[in-house]
Chain A
Amino acid sequence: MTSGDFGMAHVGWVKAHFAPCARFPCHVGTALRAFAHPTRRGWKNAAALLLALAFADIPATVVAQPAPSSPPPATAAPARQRVVIGYVDIEGDPRYEPVRAYERLVLKTRDHPFPGAQVGIDEAQALVRVLNTEFALERITVKAPDQVAGAVTRAMMERGIKFFLIDAPAEAFKPLAAAVKGREVLLFNVSAPDDSLRREVCAREMVHTMPSLAMSMDALMQYLVSRKWRDMLVFEGPLPADAQRTDAFVRSAQKFGARIVARQKFKPGTDPRDREQNNPALLSAVRGDYDVVFVADDAFDFVRTVPYHTVRPRPVVGSIDLEPVAWHWTWEHNGAPQVNSRFDKKSGGRRMEGADWAAWIAVKMIVQSALRTRSADFAKQRDFILGDAGFDGNKGLPVGVRPWDHQLRQAVLLAAPYMVVESAPVEGFLHRINNLDTLGDDEPETPCHLNK
């Protein structure tokens, strides 16, 4: 049974549930996940959701459940079309482990951006009747990054899914790009910021809605330079991700005319023999003055000890205090409070973050492509998304896909813990075509030329 068959059987159901059926897609997704992974919590979920399914008339394609008994309406309406969006994530993805100081002291909880995608589906409910098309999410959870490519291929071949949100770390993307090369499919990278995906992997079938590291660091640098804070002291952590962040920051400094006073490697710990590397006061006692201390610490461990411990009284940016992010819960312009509020309700009180925004906008782009092309035809929708369309990202200038590397051009927010200090592109940083392209790899800078 293809996904198309479902629409015919359920014409009546959707009509009857037009407004209040917002929760439908989440039942499907979570149930699938629960069945796929029978952990203890999973079975509990599965049981609870089976109950929910019984009430929600879930399609036979997903769970063996007969179509609703109510006959379709007498007026022979054209078959309702259905756009299914796959959401692929990895069980136990370490990027979503809580950040702890000690076992019982959780500093940050981190979650998959799935509720962001759900909010996007909910928002599309008003369009079901206009487009005669419904949108649904199918959550596909795999066990390891190397299983992502296989899961996408299977969903594509067996269930005809053409749009996917990929919530996976960078290493999943290279095999994925090889597996889908030349296929009728569009994958949205919603959580991996790695520049290599936009530069070396450079895949035509991908769109990166998460800002790249280069964009984030350019945004931060624009702000620092706009304040005339041009001398930077850099602390680099031991992880590969820390080196990547630091490299991106140094590149941005060159791009915007800032100076790296010193690049110091730190080593977390309290060993007095390593004090030159683990004591922020000693690390910051460098020859010459600096305006700002930049810290790259993906583990969010050492960086906590930097503010107020430097030799000179200087602001700390990067992995703490002033961070470049795709989204922040305190952003109050461009209709952002309403998006935050819908996310809060959907996620059970979580604060919306960058990846949540990236998942939300990916769904929104797919929905818009159906609305604006008046079509459920994949090729038309894909061409619309990859064309010069602007989408409402609720953060200022319309967002859109860069034709050269398929990165979504967008504003980057510079967030302090309780306030978005500034939104980049910062005023005064101009581009000959679109100011958003002052952030990250512009066409002449990138090695990726998908438009040529």
Chain B
Amino acid sequence: MRGIQTKKIKLTGFPPSATLAAVFRRAKEVLKQDNKIPIRMILLDHKKGCANLLVSFIYENEKK
């Protein structure tokens, strides 16, 4: 069973020169590593190598 969830995530370790596109690419990678399919991402803030995003994703729900 698949579901959709929305939550805030924090990403760290960006170089000061990181572009916004790089932040989104990294967020996608992080979610995909967790078997989540990102469907919507909004950047809340991005400073000092740290970014907060509100993300919505499809996940596999173990409850049947």
* A and B physically associate: no
Binding site for B on A (CB under 8 A): none
Binding site for A on B (CB under 8 A): none
